Structure 1
Amino acid sequence: MRAVEFETEVINNTITIPENFQVELALSKDKHVRVIVMVDELGEEAQFKNELNEQFLKGYDEADSVYDNL
């Protein structure tokens, strides 16, 4: 199985496959594919996670790097 990656928009609950991949898929009828959909996090939870990470990393000091390779 070969992996391909592309970005597209979901419109009316439909994912459009780019033309260059449409040609490849049309060449083999009834091809088995695996679809993985990754969605950007939106909303307050994502914003909270980002702020939490920023605050955590502000406390990181170069002296802490001795623990990075344990």
Structure 2
Amino acid sequence: MYAFNYDSDAEFLHGVIAIPARRALEKEKINSLEKLSDYSEKEIMQLHGFGKNAMMKLKNYMKENQVCFREA
């Protein structure tokens, strides 16, 4: 039997963007779309683990949920 700690923050964007990008957001304590909207696209792209592919997927997900980045 395996035991693990369930962390709802770890589920944020699960299946949307790759693990390195999710870890980058987690490191910055960004664990909701509301917090993500406080950042500009440029700021997120500067995080280690974020690339063009992750950003494209993230922007599509945000658009589906009527959320957008802060203007730079």
State the TM-score bracket (shorter-chain normalisation).
under 0.3
The normalised TM-score by structure 1 is 0.27
Whichever structure has more strand as a proportion of its residues is 1
Higher RCO by CA contacts (8 Å cutoff, separation 6 or greater): 2
